[in-house]
């Protein structure tokens, strides 16, 4: 990293007023597979220092499954979801009890926040989670977030906490996201192989071309490996959040702005609205509408609203207000948006001009299929 890059990384982290710190299972567990209490104590100490300096801190902590293994007599992370969930429900209580005690040493109150994908997909629940987290920060508590593993299902589950951390950072409009793992940085290849070198700074997707992120963690306790961390950094930086990826051992140095780990620079453009980020990353289309090539061009290139005239087909069942995918005729999803009509209504409107619809069906049919404020190009 050039000196200018180092400075930017430092100032982004040092100047952060609200920061989300994510710690993965791999750095919270001992080589024997149990929870690493020393590591938790150290982390609570580092975060308490930040809090003492007036910085709002949210911790996203994995480790529930790992903490539940020993009490259940399990030697390693179970493969089946039901046993993972059982281990998580045993472990989450233990994990929080430990954090509560560690933060109490620094006169801080820990607060448990368990979220599911569904909570972030539904706009009302998303807003509630946002309100609660902000209130917790206002009253001086340290929110400790994890996925609500016991109710998450195969189909809708984060699985790893990396993406959850990025969404929490965006939901809170945090200034910085710190991803802590058992590896000190992103490497250009598997870090356990000779010849791989540290990537100090990532300014955009071009810097990741040819980087091998596919190998999984050494000890098999984490889940996402680097793939989900890079994805998390992408979501966060697109939301304007400076991101640092490093090891838990480097947490203090990273928060003090030392040039450790990998710095992911925030995207320079205007911060997307919370609604646009939610549409792009937290939700999935309930169904889809297929667009003719002209409508694809209008939506993608001109960020225009989708009008009935450009729709050729409706797929799936949805209600007005649901998120839907906008596809081209080849089946590619080009955008996602909140639809203004039920799926059953659209076939009668397709291919018609707004003027014709208003004249024949009434002025309420003047509305777009998806308004451009409710639309995000993917």
Ligand X SMILES: N[C@@H](CCC(=O)OP(=O)(O)O)C(=O)O
Ligand Y SMILES: Nc1ncnc2c1ncn2[C@@H]1O[C@H](COP(=O)(O)OP(=O)(O)O)[C@@H](O)[C@H]1O
Through-space distance between the first and last CA atoms of the chain, rounded to whole angstroms? 30
Segment contacting ligand X by CB under 6 A, of 109-117, 127-135, 216-224, 309-317: 216-224
Residue 26, marked binder: no
Q: Tokens for 129?
A: 């989670």
145 binds, options ligand X, ligand Y, none, Cβ within 5 to 8 A by partner type: none
- DSSP conformational letter for 70: G
**Count of C-beta atoms within a 10 Å radius of residue 47:** 27
Sketch the per residue contact string, 9 through 48, with ligand Y: x for CB under 6 A, - otherwise.
Answer: ---------------xxxx---------------------
149 binds, options ligand Y, ligand X, none, Cβ within 5 to 8 A by partner type: ligand X
Distances (CA, A) of 48 to 134, 135, 204: 18, 18, 32
- Rounded Cα distance between 196 and 262, Å, is 14
63 binds, options ligand X, ligand Y, none, Cβ within 5 to 8 A by partner type: ligand X
Residue whose CB is less far from ligand Y, 247 or 343: 247
Q: 315-338 b/e with 16+ CB inside 10 Å = b?
A: eeebeeebbbbbbbeeeeebbbbb
Residue nearest to ligand Y (CB): 24
- Among all chains, which residue has been given the structure tokens 């906008």? 326
By CB under 6 A, residue 182 contacts ligand Y:
yes
The contacts of residue 101 (CB under 8 Å, 6+ apart) are none
By CB under 6 A, residue 65 contacts ligand X:
yes
Q: Tokens for 327?
A: 């596809």
Among 160, 182, 328, 374, binds ligand X (CB under 6 A): 160
Q: Give me the least distance between CB of 166 and ligand Y, in Å please.
A: 13
Q: Give me the least distance between CB of 63 and ligand Y, in Å please.
A: 9
232 binds, options ligand X, ligand Y, none, Cβ within 5 to 8 A by partner type: none
- Among all chains, which residue has been given the structure tokens 């009890």? 97
Q: Give me the least distance between CB of 94 and ligand Y, in Å please.
A: 18
Q: Using CB atoms within 10 A of its CB, is residue 289 exposed (0-12), middle (13-18) or buried (19+)? A: buried
Interacting residues toward ligand X by CB under 6 A: 24-26, 62-66, 88, 146-147, 149, 160-162, 222-224
Q: Which residues are annotated as a binding site for ATP?
A: 22, 181-182, 223-229
């Amino acid at each position: 990293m050039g000196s200018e890059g180092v400075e930017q990384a430092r100032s982004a982290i040092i100047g952060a007023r609200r920061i989300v710190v994510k710690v993965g299972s791999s750095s919270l567990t001992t080589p024997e597979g149990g929870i690493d209490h020393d590591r938790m104590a150290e982390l609570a100490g580092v975060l308490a220092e930040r809090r003492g300096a007036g910085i709002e801190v949210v911790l996203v902590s994995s480790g529930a499954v790992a903490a539940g293994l020993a009490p259940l007599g399990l030697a390693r992370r179970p493969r089946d979801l039901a046993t993972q969930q059982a281990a998580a429900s045993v472990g989450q209580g233990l994990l929080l009890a430990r954090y509560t005690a560690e933060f109490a040493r620094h006169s801080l109150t820990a607060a448990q926040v368990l979220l599911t994908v569904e909570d972030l997909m539904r706009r009302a629940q998303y807003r509630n989670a946002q309100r609660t987290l902000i209130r917790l920060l206002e009253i001086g508590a340290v929110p400790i977030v994890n996925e609500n593993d016991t109710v998450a299902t195969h189909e809708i589950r984060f699985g790893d906490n990396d993406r959850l951390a990025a969404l929490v950072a965006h939901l809170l409009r945090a200034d910085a996201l710190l991803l802590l793992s058992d590896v000190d940085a992103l490497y250009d290849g598997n870090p356990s192989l000779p010849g791989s070198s540290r990537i100090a700074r990532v300014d955009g997707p071009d810097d990741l071309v040819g980087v091998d992120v596919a190998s999984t963690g050494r000890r098999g306790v984490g889940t996402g490996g680097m793939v989900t961390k890079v994805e998390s950094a992408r979501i966060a930086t697109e939301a304007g959040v400076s991101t640092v990826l490093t090891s838990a051992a480097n947490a203090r140095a990273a928060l003090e702005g030392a040039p450790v780990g990998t710095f992911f620079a925030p995207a320079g453009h205007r911060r997307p609205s919370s609604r646009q980020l939610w549409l792009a990353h937290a939700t999935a289309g309930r169904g889809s509408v297929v667009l003719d090539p002209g409508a694809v061009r209008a939506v993608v290139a001109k960020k225009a609203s989708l009008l009935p005239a450009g729709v050729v087909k409706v797929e799936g069942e949805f209600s007005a207000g649901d998120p839907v995918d906008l596809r081209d005729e080849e089946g590619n999803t080009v955008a996602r948006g909140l639809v203004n009509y039920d799926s059953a209504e659209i076939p009668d409107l397709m291919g018609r001009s707004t003027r014709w619809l208003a004249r024949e069906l009434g002025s309420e049919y003047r509305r777009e299929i998806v308004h451009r404020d409710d639309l995000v190009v993917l």
